[in-house]
Amino acid sequence: MMDAARKAKLTWQCRRGMLELDLLLNQFLDRQLEKLNEEQIAQFEILLQQPDPVLYSWLMGSAPANRDVEDIVRRIQLQDYLK
C-alpha cells in the first residue's frame, strides 16, 4: 500500500494545464493506482514530469513514448479495458 503523502503528490501532479490530460490521468489514478507495482508507480512518476504537449502526444499515440515509460503509457491507454 502506498503512503498518503506519495499518493497526494501523484494526485497533485495529475492536475495539468490541459483538461484532456486531467481527465485521463485522474481517471487512471482512481482506477489503477492500487493495482500498480513499485516499478509501474516509478514509471508513472517519471511520466508526470513530462511537459503537457509531450505527454498528450504519447497518450494519444501520435508520438512513440520513451522506453522508460512506454509500459505505463500503454496501461493508461488501455485503462478502460483493465480490471
Question: What's residue 1's pLDDT?
Answer: 65
Q: Given this model, what pLDDT does residue 29 score?
A: 96
* Alpha helices per DSSP H over 1-83: 4-13, 19-32, 38-47, 52-60, 70-77
- CATH among 1.10.150.250, 3.40.250.10, 3.40.470.10, 1.20.120.160 for 4-81: 1.10.150.250
Tens-digit pLDDT profile for residues 1-52:
689 999 999 999 999 999 999 999 999 999 999 999 999 999 999 999 999 9
C-alpha gyration radius of the chain: 12
The full set of domain ranges for the chain reads 4-81
CA 46 to chain centre: 9
Q: Which residue has the cell 490521468?
A: 25
The amino acid present at 5, given as its one-letter code, is A
